[in-house]
Structure 1
């Protein structure tokens, strides 16, 4: 399969429109607000307050919210992207997670991609920018063979052309 980036006016065959980094960021921001709000409510219910202090100055005590929130993000992204290809943020931004030929990604691919977003996002994004290709994949997108695309119909996957939005 010949994968190339080209102008939409010259494209023949099926097209996969690669999502802009800015659209992906706004989709992530919407998801971040949703999941962080849920996490905050859960911590409030668990501790009876959002103002919790610990006498010990240990890594685990300082990061008590980071770990459960990251797990919540991982579950949120994994379930929604595997089941319907979109999170709430992606739905609003008209984006979808697909495999590299524009079809539903595998559970393994979604798990890998969600892990990178949930636990290593800053590293994943920065390395993705520096090592990016025409498909605008983060490192964990590459490892999971997933793409974030603008939603378009893909009729024939035998002659896909990758376009940047």
Structure 2
């Protein structure tokens, strides 16, 4: 976010879809590794025979991993605006004014990327391309922005794509 001297308008640089994907991928790899280690601790092995026990184990792992993702994103993005992937790529979740997103918005946004990511992204590309919001970002009134420095934003905002 930066301030334009001529217009006294604050600019919010909206993150590229590719940067957002790579931040998500970093988070995905971290949480999947943690979830796999938890499953290994409970079951003593990572690969399972194809039987009824395997089906239940896969269902448990999917549910467990999804809940870890959901909690991870809610906690980090509400407290700091950044998951580990976002921090690495200098991205941050904000409200549409560039300020800290509220808890309700973060929960809604996190729900979409945890449980419905393909639908959330595709519908976002179609319906919210101006601000590069996923559908659940739009519903939660959140944006993912590129951070250049920690300047405060002001009331007049101009949106600019990265």
Matched, 1:158 2:155: yes
The answer to whether the 8 Å contact 1:12/1:161 transfers is no
Structure 1, 13-22 or 154-163: larger mean CA deviation: 154-163
Which of structure 1's runs of 4+ aligned residues deviate more than 4 A? Answer: 57-62
Gapped regions of structure 1 (runs ≥ 5) = 1-7
Q: What is aligned with 1:26?
A: 22
- Secondary structure at the aligned position of 1:157 is classed as coil
Q: Do 2:48 and 2:54's aligned partners in 1 also have CA atoms closer than 8 Å?
A: no
User: Helix, strand or coil for the counterpart of 2:128?
Assistant: coil
After superposition, what is the alpha-carbon deviation per residue over 1:71-93, rounded to whole angstroms, capped at 9, x for unaligned? 10000100000000001100010
1:75-116 Cα distance to aligned partner (Å, 9 max, x none): 010000000000110001000000000100110000000011
Deviations 1:34-65 (A, max 9, x none): 11100010011111111224633997554332
Q: Among 33, 38, 48, which residue is 1:37 paired with?
A: 33
Separation of aligned partners in 1, 2:129 and 2:18: 16
Uncovered stretches (5+) of structure 2, i.e. residues with no partner: none
When the two structures are superposed, what TM-score results if normalisation uses the length of structure 2?
Answer: 0.88
Partner residue of 1:13?
A: 9
CA RMSD in angstroms comes to 2.1
The higher-RCO structure (CA 8 Å, 6+ apart) is 1
Distance, in Å, in 1 between the alignment partners of 2:8 and 2:20 is: 26
- Aligned residue pairs total 157
